[in-house]
Amino acid sequence: MPELTYIQPVRLSLKDHPQLDERWLQDRIAEDPSILGLGDVVLRDRERQQPRAGRLDLLLQNGDSNERYEVEVQLGKTDESHIIRTIEYWDVERKRYPQYDHVAVIVAEDITSRFLNVVSLFNGFIPLVAIQLAAFEWENTVSLAFTTVLDQTRLGLVDEDEGTTEVTDRQYWESRGTPATVAMVDTCLHLMREIDPDIDLNYTKFYIGPARAGRAINFALFRPQKKKLVFELRLERSEDAEAELMGAGLDVDYDGRRGRYRIGLTESDLDQHGELLKGYLEMAYKERV
């Protein structure tokens, strides 16, 4: 292997560059949105017209889930107008398309500590990501580096607020779903009891979840529907896990805001892939307990 040579590239200011402007930066992101570090995202739109609110620089969407990213790009330092514009566009898009999970994204060359202090105050209420970019030049070539300096605050499961979660019973879920889809939860309970024999089921208004000694341990959630069981696993996102689950033919997506996989299960899925699902239940159990 040839010996590696160290190179000291020159840091560029795109704001002050005579040729490389915001349009050029948008072009680079549009060519390969993955450079932002947001995961497997694709470009949905550019310069997207907002009703009475100007144009959104870039609209990205996660290829494997229902997350959309409203991206605003700014050269130089972030400022108040940039924050307001980014949140405004995010708000417009989430109201127009409520079927998606929307995330506001600010990309700038210089994200100041004052900016971080301001946006961190409401980051628990508005899903917002701040990405700082750096441009470097070496021998007539330019490279870009993107660093996430503020990530969206992961929400806890709303269902974990046990003090305000209304308790129901099996009959409630059999009417909301069907006896057959609730019986699928029983099958999952058998799998969970192979991991921890003391696990029981906790029936609430919003989900059926595992409990032990009367205390909820929501490493998994179950929501019986009319034709399938929606099965949620609280796990960190993993390309290997997604490849394995999708390779088994399961209907899978990932909710990055809440940090969990959603899997739509049929009876045949449970019959064929019970051991596979038990492995992931055990992983989620170990992380949660």
Amino acid letter, residue 115? F
Return the closest-CA partner of residue 14 out of 149, 145, 165: 145
Question: What confidence tens digit (pLDDT) does each residue in 93-133 have?
Answer: 988 888 788 999 999 988 877 777 777 676 667 888 889 99
| Contact call for residues 220 and 210 (beta carbons, < 8 A) | yes
Rounded to two decimals, the pTM is 0.56
Beta strand residue intervals within the chain, DSSP E: 10-12, 41-50, 54-62, 67-77, 101-110, 128-138, 141-150, 199-203, 208-212, 215-216, 220-224, 229-233, 251-255, 260-265
Q: What pLDDT, in 10s, does the model give residues 168-207? A: 889 999 998 999 999 999 999 999 999 999 999 999 888 8
Spell out the domains of the chain, with CATH numbers in brackets: 10-150 (3.40.1350.10), 158-288 (3.90.1150)
Instruction: At 271, list the tokens.
Output: 């019959």
